[in-house]
Amino acid sequence: MMRKLISKTKNFIVDLNDNLSFIGMPLAIGWNIFHRFKFIIEKKIYDLRGQLKFGINELNADKIYYVNPQKIQYYLKDGFKKGDTYSRIKRGKWDKSKKLFEDLPVYQALIQRFREGTKWDEIKYFQNVQNDISNGIIRWGCKNKDEWINILGEIEDLYNKIKNNGSKLKSGLASSKEQYEKLEISTILDDLTINIGRDGQLLLVEGEVGLSLAKVLDLSEIPIKIKVRHKKWMRFKEKLRYFSRHDILYQKVTHIDLQDFSFKHGDERFTLIKENLSISKGTLLDIGTNLGYFCHKMEEEGFDCYGVEENWYYAYFLKKLRKAEDKKFKIISKSIFKYYKSRELVFDVVLALFIFHHFLKRKNTYLNLIKLLNRLRVKEMIFGAHNPRELQNIGGYINYTPSQFVNFILENSCLNKAEVIYKVKNGRYIYKLSS
């Protein structure tokens, strides 16, 4: 009830500002101040909820997660005993000691061996290990040269097993668990365990060789276990859970430790977009980016992404989730109409999935949409057209059928071609527009 009242009040002020700006402008300024104050208070409530409550079911030491190895960018060298099977929440600065995995000597050595073809005895790291063993120092659990040679043989054998079955691993990883079992890969991969730091970053604790081989072979997915989660990360999870309490999230959250959140739309739209774009890299603008699903996924495909998200609540979580997965996409936390409003917007791809019809509700936003389309210099646009019934009962300024909406965009932009790429069950359509 309260949410509906707030929404109606906002619409009334916006309409008043459009038609009688000398009255509406002061009210609009006051509304923005109220809304920002409301956001600050609610964020404090999220913080409090995050401190008081954690999800217990997720602390399962035996649960297997499947993750792209490229998402594990850091490792922890000290502070956690190998072989421990506990899963718990831990406060403190232990995650501050993280180091870049790509700087790990064994990873660099395995790149030399398997990507560059360098012989084992010509790689400096392995030379140093063998010298230490010869001098009576136990390395890699080896006490003599024969044991060390056996270890190298096991690594070579493991690499070849994965490489020879690589096409299967890359093509159907929805059943990756079964495929790993069929390969009979040793426990080097099974023992991959990570901790999750305060910002949500994945920090390797055990399995340096397994992760190195997975990265060298560019595997899409590997099994891991989560050992420890930082207390501040758990607070963030609870904030997000509390935020989504009224409704399920619109988009899937990409972080491996947030997969239990319900969502309306998952990977099917990403797959559709990926299959229909004729551009494989470049700049991409996502209008109404929500929690950043498409920015995360398209950055992994090689795009330089820009996400527009005017909603303060979504922008807050969007920034946190970007940091959690070490992404680089830019966040524009303002109206798309205010983004370089006097300049052309040049992008290779624009995603406008079921966002433009919101601008048809009022004359002011409708005219701003025309100005935006005039400013866009884009090669391809993925456009989601609404079902006209969605606007029939709210007294919007104008309403379009999907085909009319497409023609409107083509008439006001640099785009001149359109094709339907998907019809949604609820009467919506997705188009690919191109120039």
- What ranges in 325-420 are assigned the alpha helix state H? 363-375, 389-392, 402-412
> 376-385 and 429-434 as β-strands: parallel, antiparallel, unpaired?
antiparallel
Query: Phi and psi (nearest 5°) for 429?
Result: -130, 150
pTM of the model: 0.81
Pick the closest to residue 293 from 314, 313, 279 (CA basis).
Answer: 314
Pick the closest to residue 253 from 325, 304, 186 (CA basis).
Answer: 325
Domain 244-434: which topology?
Rossmann fold (3.40.50)
Taking only the tens of pLDDT, the chain with its 435 residues reads 445 555 555 555 455 455 545 454 565 556 556 656 665 666 566 555 555 555 544 566 678 888 999 999 999 976 565 555 566 888 999 999 999 999 999 999 999 999 999 999 999 999 999 999 999 999 988 999 899 999 999 889 888 887 776 433 333 333 444 544 444 444 445 568 899 999 999 999 988 988 999 899 988 888 888 989 999 999 898 888 888 776 678 888 999 999 888 888 878 999 999 999 999 999 999 999 999 999 999 999 999 999 999 988 889 999 999 999 999 999 999 999 999 988 999 999 999 999 999 999 989 999 999 999 999 999 999 999 999 998 877 777 899 999 999 999 999 999 999 999 999 988 899 999 999
**How many C-beta neighbours within 10 Å does residue 244 have?**
17
Domain ranges of the chain: 1-52, 65-231, 244-434
